[in-house]
Chains A and B, each alone.
Chain A
Amino acid sequence: GAGVSQSPSNKVTEKGKDVELRCDPISGHTALYWYRQSLGQGLEFLIYFQGNSAPDKSGLPSDRFSAERTGGSVSTLTIQRTQQEDSAVYLCASSFEGLNYEQYFGPGTRLTVT
């Protein structure tokens, strides 16, 4: 079946603009995750959803970041008033519910803030 898809694949935006990143998880996966991968860094856990709710939002870097998930499926990560330090690859993953299930990753969205 189809894997995790993300759009856009690349996004270049000017500092101060808002951006919206989209993730379509694998059908049937109830858990959805967002990560950020900066150049030369590991993956930074941002947030995850159980269904439509996010039990812990403390991983979001600042209040400019928000995420939502509707219908237990598609999720959007919104970054308001982008800054240059927001430039990174944003990865989405999905899995069945539970700590022991592997996460399936999307190809990522490369965000460049100029």
Chain B
Amino acid sequence: AQSVTQLDSQVPVFEEAPVELRCNYSSSVSVYLFWYVQYPNQGLQLLLKYLSGSTLVESINGFEAEFNKSQTSFHLRKPSVHISDTAEYFCAVTVLLPNTGGFKTIFGAGTRLFVKA
């Protein structure tokens, strides 16, 4: 069975400090990996995704994530966070369902990043 584990439910960090939000997945089939972000009182929106090619992917606001197949991880990092990065971050994988030919997206439980001044 497929699953996504976000190891930290909350991560408090001071402004301008680096941060890493951890994500591990388990799947016996190929997956596509995503990070979504939910800012306070807003809907979910895509932050970045890994489909193929370079294992390091970047977002427009300075976040990056690295796909590590051997460790089945897709950790999200930012070298220097801002107050405005305070949000909930969800790791997600999309997997193909072999029996139906459809697919399924599995989300982690989320990590609440709280950036303090």
Q: Are A105 and B44 in contact (CB under 8 A)?
A: yes
Q: A70 contacts the other chain (Cβ, under 8 Å)?
A: no
Q: Are A45 and B34 in contact (CB under 8 A)?
A: no
Q: Are A56 and B104 in contact (CB under 8 A)?
A: yes
Q: Are B106 and A45 in contact (CB under 8 A)?
A: yes
Nearest opposing residue in chain A for B97, CB measure: A56
Contacts of A41 in B (CB 8 A): 109
Q: How many A-B residue pairs have CB under 8 A?
A: 58
Determine which of B46, B96, B100, B109 lies in contact with A103 in the assembled complex, contact meaning CB atoms within 8 Å. Answer: B46
A10 to B14, CA, bound (A): 35
Q: Is the interface of B mostly helix, strand, loop or mixed?
A: strand
Q: Are A55 and B101 in contact (CB under 8 A)?
A: yes
Contacts of A43 in B (CB 8 A): 44, 90, 92, 107
Which residues does A use to contact B, with CB under 8 Å?
33, 35, 41-45, 48, 50, 55-56, 59, 91, 93, 99-100, 102-108
